[in-house]
Amino acid sequence: MNNIGNMLNSFWDQNILSYIRLWQEYPIKLVTLILDIVIVIFLAYELLRIVKDSRAWQLVKGIALLIIATALSRLFNLNILNYILSTVMDWGVILIIIIFQPEIRRALEQLGGTNRFSKFFGFDKDIITKTKEDIYKIVIAVYELAKNKTGALIVIERDIQIKDIIATGIPMDAEVSPQLLVNIFVPNTPLHDGAVVISKNKIAAAACMLPLASDQDIAKELGTRHRAGIGISKESDSLAIIVSEETGKVSIAKDGTLIADVREDVLKKILISNIVTKRFNESKNEQNKQSIKEKLKNMFKKNKK
C-alpha cells in the first residue's frame, strides 16, 4: 500500500502540480492544452466510430485490456509479467498497423472524401465530381430498368429536406450504385414497391411512400408512380425520375411539371443543371453578394471620413 501511495504522490507532484504552476505563469498554455485534449478526444471518437461496426472492434477491446494489464502489472510490481507485456506493447504500433491495415485505409479515405471536410476547406470540386458521378450512375440504372420495362421511382433530394418521406421507407444509407438501384426495383421483391430517395449522395431509403398529385393535375392515362413523382416535386424542390412499367419510357418531375419520354442525354443534362450547376452557381452568387456588400460598406466608411 505504501508503494501505491508513493506512486500516486509522485504522479501528483510531477504532473498535476507542475501543470498548475505552469498555467499560473503562462495562462496561454491552458488554451493550448484544452485544444490538445479536444483534438485527441475527437480523433479517438472518430476512430471508435469507424471500427465499432467492423471486425476490428474485438481487437480494440483486446488492446485496451492489454494496456490495463500492463499498467496493473507495473502498479503491483509483477516484474516478469510487466516485462513481457511491455515488450508486446513496444511492438504494438507495428502490430496495429498490420492488423488494422484495411480499417486504417478506409478511415483515411473517409477523412479525405467526406463532404464535411470538403465544405470546411472549400473543396467544392470534390463534391461536384462526386455528385456528377452519382448522377451518371443513376442514369445508367434508370435506362437499364427502362430497357427491361421495370417500373421505378427515384427521388433526388435537393435543398428542401424530405426527412418525413425518408422515414416512411426502409433505411439504407448506401453508396449510389447502378447495380443496387436496379436490384431494388426487381418485381416481387420486398423493396420494389415505393420510391427510392437519394439524399446527400447516398441512397437514404427504399420503399418510401410519396404524396400523390390530384387527378386533375395530370393526364388520366398516367399511373400511380407518375402521380407520386409529380406530388413530391410539388411539395418540395426534389426531382423525381419515373420509369413506366407499361412502356419503359422515362419521365422526370420537377416543380410539379412532368417531362415525359426523356432521352438519356437529356436526363443527364437536366440532372446536372438542376443539381450541380444550380447549387454551385447559387453558392458562388452568395459569395459575390457578400463581397459586394463588404466593398460598399468600405466605400461608405471612406466617404464618411
Distances (CA, A) of 119 to 282, 285, 289: 15, 16, 19
> In sequence order, which residues have a C-beta less than 8 Å from that of residue 299 and are 6 or more positions away?
none
Distances (CA, A) of 20 to 8, 28, 40, 299, 302: 17, 12, 21, 50, 49
Q: How far apart are CA 105 and CA 277, in angstroms?
A: 32
Q: How far apart are CA 4 and CA 30, in angstroms?
A: 29
Q: Which three cell numbers stand for residue 51?
A: 471500427
**What is the arrangement of strands in the sheet containing 239-243, beginning at the earlier edge strand?**
170-175, 202-208, 195-199, 152-156, 239-243, 250-254, 257-259
> In sequence order, which residues have a C-beta less than 8 Å from that of residue 26 and are 6 or more positions away?
none
Q: How far apart are CA 158 and CA 135, in angstroms?
A: 13
Residue among 132, 149, 127 at smallest CA distance from 268: 132
Residue type, 136: Y
Q: How far apart are CA 88 and CA 54, in angstroms?
A: 24
Q: How far apart are CA 21 and CA 15, in angstroms?
A: 10
- At 128 the pLDDT is 83
**Could you give all domains of the chain from N- to C-terminal order, each with its CATH number?**
2-110 (no CATH), 124-281 (3.40.1700.10)
- At 25 the pLDDT is 67
- At 222 the pLDDT is 78
Tell me how many helices (H) and strands (E) the chain has: 14, 7
- At 99 the pLDDT is 67
**What is the full per-residue pLDDT of the chain (305 aa) written as tens digits?**
444 455 556 655 556 666 666 666 666 666 777 888 888 888 888 777 766 655 566 777 777 888 888 889 888 888 898 888 888 877 776 777 776 666 666 566 555 544 444 444 444 557 888 889 999 999 999 999 999 999 999 999 998 889 999 999 999 999 999 999 999 999 988 898 899 999 989 999 999 999 988 766 566 677 889 999 999 998 898 999 999 999 999 999 998 889 999 999 999 999 999 998 766 555 444 555 455 455 445 554 555 55
- At 148 the pLDDT is 93
Q: How far apart are CA 137 and CA 201, in angstroms?
A: 11
- At 183 the pLDDT is 95
Q: How far apart are CA 75 and CA 8, in angstroms?
A: 10
- 187: helix, coil or strand? coil
Q: How far apart are CA 33 and CA 23, in angstroms?
A: 10
Q: How many residues does the chain have?
A: 305
- At 135 the pLDDT is 95
Please give the model's pTM, rounded to 2 decimal places. Answer: 0.57
- If you write DSSP's letter for every residue of 222-288 in order, what string do you get? S-HHHHHHHHHHHHSS-EEEEE-TTT--EEEEETTEEE-S--HHHHHHHHIIIIIIHHHHHHHHHHH
Q: Is-contact 198 154, C-beta < 8 A?
A: yes
